[in-house]
């Protein structure tokens, strides 16, 4: 996620960090060269050039803007829902920390709380298609056995089994066990929410139709601008293509908010926040807060 402490006009105009320009620069350049070629043909061979009215492009551009707004709003909703899910994970973990003070065995409490850190690391790796068990292992107890195909759920099952045993042995009350189980349920819902976002992209026909329409619009626009604008046509074509292609690329980036792109969610920083909360409750040294590197918070 991009973090800018100072958003002055000069920085906003020329910054490339977090900008979508790098991803669409080649396509915009190709559209600009095409527009320049069309203007050249129109100037040298006006008899061969058939004038095209700009009215259809106005109507198409309006419809395209509305459709892109719908898709980008849907993509942003996925990004924001993912952020809310990770925020809830931090809340549920902090609540579990407070409610676990009744566990008399400090070694067991430490194991359970550190396992919550393992859950966060495993979920972060799962959403990035990385090795969950490898990410969680440093936080799990020695010899802990978890399900390899779903490490996150396996960690919660182990924690739940410990809490159930404490209730059966009457080391904690049924009410306290219910509270702890509710926190684990909340973490399961967080995992399910993130997996739903990760595993359910926007319907492909929406994306396909939008891509095709954008390219058709940008490639045909110079024919309408060449005659009235002359050599200004490539400039305005570039501006329009930058806008439409940029919005399209932003939507693609926000559709999956759990990757390592510059504008994805800073899940590493949120995992570090959770680590610090757990270790603080255990009285152990705290790792440093993750800071943005070149304005990028991972």
Secondary structure in 3-state letters for 108-144:
HHHHHHHHHHHHHHHHHHHHCCCCHHHHHHHHCCCCC
DSSP-assigned letters across all residues of 267-278? HHHHHHHHHHHH
Q: How far is 26 from 21, CA to CA, in rounded Å? A: 9
pLDDT number for residue 275: 92
Q: What is the mean pLDDT of residues 288-296?
A: 76
pLDDT above 70 (res 222): yes
Q: Who's near 174: CB < 8 A, 6+ residues apart?
A: 167
Q: What is the mean pLDDT of residues 76-82?
A: 92
From 227, 181, 175, select the one nearest 43 (Cα to Cα): 227
Task: Name the DSSP letter for residue 262.
Answer: T
In the numeric block, which tokens belong to residue 148?
């390899």
pLDDT above 80 (res 19): no
pLDDT number for residue 253: 85
Q: How far is 136 from 114, CA to CA, in rounded Å? A: 10
pLDDT confidence bin for 272, thresholds 50/70/90: very high
Count Cβ atoms below 10 Å from residue 163 Cβ, excluding itself: 25
pLDDT number for residue 279: 93
């Amino acid at each position: 996620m991009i973090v800018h402490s100072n958003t002055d006009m000069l920085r906003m105009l020329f910054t490339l960090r977090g900008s979508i320009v790098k991803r669409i620069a080649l396509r915009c350049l190709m559209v600009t060269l095409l527009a320049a070629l069309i203007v050249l043909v129109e100037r040298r061979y006006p008899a061969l050039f058939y004038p095209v009215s700009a009215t259809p492009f106005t109507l198409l551009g309006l419809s395209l803007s509305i459709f892109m707004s719908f898709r980008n709003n849907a993509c942003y909703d996925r990004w924001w829902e993912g952020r809310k899910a990770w925020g809830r994970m931090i809340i549920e973990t902090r609540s579990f920390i407070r409610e676990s003070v009744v566990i008399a065995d400090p070694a067991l409490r430490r194991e359970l709380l550190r396992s919550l850190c393992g859950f966060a690391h495993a979920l972060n790796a799962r959403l990035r298609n990385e090795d969950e068990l490898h990410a969680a292992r440093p936080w799990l107890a020695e010899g802990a056995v978890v399900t390899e195909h779903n490490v996150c759920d396996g960690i919660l099952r182990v924690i739940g089994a410990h809490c159930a045993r404490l209730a059966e042995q009457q080391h904690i009350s049924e009410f306290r066990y219910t509270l702890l189980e509710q926190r684990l349920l909340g973490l399961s819902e967080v995992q399910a929410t993130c997996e739903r976002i990760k595993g359910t992209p926007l319907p492909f026909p929406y994306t396909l139709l939008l891509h095709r329409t954008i390219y058709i619009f940008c490639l045909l626009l110079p024919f309408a601008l060449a005659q009235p604008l002359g050599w200004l046509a490539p400039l305005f074509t570039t501006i329009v293509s930058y806008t439409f292609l940029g919005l399209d690329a932003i939507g693609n980036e926000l559709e999956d908010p759990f990757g390592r792109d510059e504008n994805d969610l800073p899940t590493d920083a949120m995992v570090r926040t959770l680590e610090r909360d757990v270790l603080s409750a255990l009285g152990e040294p705290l790792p440093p807060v993750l800071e943005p590197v070149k304005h990028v918070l991972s």
